[in-house]
Amino acid sequence: MLLAIGGSTNAIIHLTAIAGRAGVAISLDRLNAISDETPVLVDLKPSGDFYMEDFFNAGGLGAVLAELRPQLHESCLTVTGETLGARLDAAPRYVDRGVIRPRSEPILAVGGLVALFGTLAPDGAILKRSAADARLFETEAEAVVFDSLEDLSARVDDPDLPVTPESILVLKNAGPKGGPGMPEAGYLPIPQKLARAGVKDMVRISDARMSGTAFGTIVLHVTPEAAVGGPLALVATGDRIKLSVKERKLDLLVGETELARRRATWKPVDVPARGYRKLYMDHVLQADHGCDFDFLRSRG
């Protein structure tokens, strides 16, 4: 359902955390497999033109589930005590095909989300491709790096920032531990001098989250995050990064010798000696495990 409506990247974290407490692993490779066979069927912002209220009035979740029926386990019990198949059989439903497309006429042939892996995101990153500019899906360019949210705020609109429309903006230290709390800060703004020149989108990469209402070619949840020493921590302005949605790849094109030199001078974030902040920093998990506390996950 998430993939078919072009839903939020945040939902991947939530689903992973919920499943983790039940002892069920969520695989980003499996996400890609499902995404490749699940079309976007709902013309819903930011992937389309309509709002959630329009989606509800057009037939809502039931109408989409009916289109996805070949992919569903119909024997699953619902909260009513009936099976999913029985619920779908229960009654004819109104569907506005201007908002909810039939499977034979999708908005996009593939799902709204895709996971990326590579030397910059060994454990994965997420792109909402249904809300991105497909012309940027195969990109190799130089990075413009911001080390923190404060650094981003201070420099992104500097007229002297060495940025072009082809640059890749990179934000570090906005993940679960670096944020802390993984704020919805991944929607990096277009630098003012580019926006004034008419630039509407560019590749942006971070270990942060993003609101489901945002549009852009924005790679989120880079894991491991910068604050724990993931490759993102070592990226410098001028480095070349390669994004390939086709190959599900996100690579930092810097040699191992240079990365080793940088790693030797990298310093982890400070952890308080006591209190809730120490508990949080010691036990919060990375995005690929739902940003949950490790002691709340099922050990079964």
- Residues 45, 277: Cα–Cα separation, whole Å: 36
| 211 is known as an active-site residue | yes
Asked if 156 contacts 188 with a C-beta cutoff of 8 angstroms, the reply is yes
> Residue 116: which residues within 8 A CB-CB, separation 6 or more?
124, 125, 126, 127, 219, 243, 245, 248, 249, 250
Amino acid at 260: A
Catalytic residue among 27, 153, 211, 298: 211
In 3D space, the residue among 232, 231, 229, 225 whose CA is nearest the CA of residue 286 turns out to be 225
The residue written with tokens 């001028």 in the block is 238
- Structure tokens, 175: 């993940």
- Structure tokens, 288: 């690929």
Quickly list DSSP for 56-125.
HHTTHHHHHHHHTGGGS-TTSB-TTSSBHHHHHHS------TTTB--TTS-SBSS-SEEEEBSSS-TTEE
What is the DSSP-derived secondary structure letter of residue 208? Answer: S
- Residues 217, 125: Cα–Cα separation, whole Å: 13
Asked if 9 contacts 217 with a C-beta cutoff of 8 angstroms, the reply is no
Hey, which residues are catalytic here? Answer: 211
